[in-house]
A = this chain, B = another copy of it.
Amino acid sequence: MRAKQLSTNQEHSHVIVLDPGDEVVDELTEWADRHGVRAARLTGIGGFRRVTLGFFDPTSRDFVRIPIDRQTEVLALIGDFAMAEDTRRPELHAHVVVGFPDGAARGGHLLAGEVWPTLEVIVTQSPRYLRRRHDPQTGLTLIDLDVGT
């Protein structure tokens, strides 16, 4: 386990409202890029018209894709932004739980999602810097706390 202080009190929070048809990963990542986000966390609720979840398979070291091609409630969107090692741009890592008309819940790594009717996201931006680095053991890009300010 490793830890890094992200702030004393110079954090900024933002509300982001996504509109019908917005692609959540693209929109949030573009927003973070435009705003110079280098480290942030987020939570959100709303709805998706369709969503693709992922499950990281420990054997294949790849994501199983779980497409859901119907309306769901976004019950819990939780994630963070850190800087990609190669592009030096903010990269979103988010997981989501979605709900169905009978209340059934499913969830996974958020690969893609099309918003409807809204998605209300709160992003808390830190003045610090978080970087992701390729981890050869897993094939994932993991947060590397030894780098940056």
List A residues at the B interface (Cβ < 8 Å).
1-20, 22, 27, 31, 39, 41, 43-45, 47, 49, 53, 55-58, 64, 66, 68, 71, 73-80, 93-97, 99-109, 116-118, 120, 122, 124, 126, 130, 135, 137-138, 140, 142-143, 145
**The residue from B6, B18, B64 contacting A122, defined by CB atoms under 8 A apart:** B6
Q: Are A45 and B103 in contact (CB-based, < 8 A)?
A: no
Find A56's partner among B39, B53, B73, B109 (CB 8 Å cutoff).
Answer: B73
A44 nearest CB across to chain B (Å): 7
Residue of B nearest to A66 (CB): B103
Write out the residue numbers on chain B whose beta carbons fall within 8 Å of the beta carbon of A71.
Answer: 56-58
User: Are B14 and A2 in contact, with the CB atoms below 8 A?
Assistant: no
In the complex, are the beta carbons of A107 and B97 less than 8 A apart? yes
- Give 9 nearest A-B pairs by CB, closest first: A103-B106, A75-B107, A66-B103, A45-B95, A76-B76, A6-B13, A117-B138, A105-B105, A99-B107
Task: For the complex, give the distance between the alpha carbons of A109 and B98 in Å.
Answer: 11
Query: Which of B75, B102, B117, B118 is within 8 Å of A66, CB to CB?
Result: B102
Known: A76-B97, A102-B66, A107-B105. A116 touches B7 (CB 8 A): no
B residues near A106, Cβ cutoff 8 Å? 99, 103-105
Known: A102-B66, A103-B106, A118-B143. A78 touches B22 (CB 8 A): no
